[in-house]
Copies of this chain bind each other. A is one copy, B any other.
């Protein structure tokens, strides 16, 4: 029966159409500007149709988050290519920061907004971030094993480095850096990159 296969394919294509519309709407209009009704409008279907392919909005945003993590993983693969673990770690951090600063809404969906994480409770594990995370983890593991970092525990190193980079991006994107006076937004951005490298020097193994 080739019919049921075609139907399955068509169902998948429809789901992708919804996902793609949601993704580009999210990038262009952000979290608040992305509604089920507007997505339905964009693909020229009724709002109720979306619920034939996604249980609820959280589930749809979970898939959008997945697309965002795919993007980040692709950036890592392209930009963090050094064979030296410490250099690669620096490249990862730099790429991560740049990604967070240039795609603030996507970054929010990946690391801040609750909505997509409501799905994870009903799921075995949170797989969306896995590939990008492993990229970071493996690099840090290599660095720790070669005694290039002041950390002895890999997991502690990962959490620390991740938290530092995320903290900078998060405070920047949420405008909380406004407590501190800066000459220009560019000066603040430059400082963020500088502090990231400074941090990596602080945690570098002492000579």
CA of A174 to CA of B112, assembled, Å: 6
Contacts of A166 in B (CB 8 A): 167, 170-171
Interface residues of A in 160-204 (CB under 8 A from B): 160, 162-168, 170-171, 174-180, 191, 194-195, 198-199, 202-203
Inter-subunit contact B111/A156 (CB<8 Å)? no
Q: A112, A163, A168: which has the most chain B beta carbons within 10 Å?
A: A163
- Closest residue of chain B to A170 (Cβ to Cβ) is B170
CA of A60 to CA of B155, assembled, Å: 41
Contacts of A155 in B (CB 8 A): 180, 191
Contacts of A180 in B (CB 8 A): 155, 158-159
CA of A113 to CA of B164, assembled, Å: 19
A3 within 8 A of B: no
Contacts of A194 in B (CB 8 A): 156
What is the CB-to-nearest-CB distance from A154 to chain B, in angstroms, rounded to a whole number?
Answer: 10
Q: A150, A165, A178: which has the most chain B beta carbons within 10 Å?
A: A178
A167 CB contact (under 8 Å) in B133, B158, B170, B198:
B170
Interface residues of A in 93-136 (CB under 8 A from B): 111-114, 117, 120, 125-126, 129-130, 133
Contacts of A162 in B (CB 8 A): 167, 171
CA of A159 to CA of B163, assembled, Å: 13
Inter-subunit contact B163/A111 (CB<8 Å)? no
Q: List 9 A-B contacts (CB under 8 A).
A: A111-B171, A112-B112, A113-B174, A114-B175, A156-B191, A160-B199, A163-B171, A163-B195, A165-B167
Binding site for B on A (CB under 8 A): 111-114, 117, 120, 125-126, 129-130, 133, 150, 155-156, 158-160, 162-168, 170-171, 174-180, 191, 194-195, 198-199, 202-203, 206
If A112-B112, A114-B174, A166-B170 are given as contacts, then 10 extra A-B residue pairs at C-beta distance below 8 Å, sorted by A number, are A114-B175, A133-B179, A156-B194, A159-B168, A160-B199, A162-B167, A163-B168, A165-B167, A166-B167, A167-B168
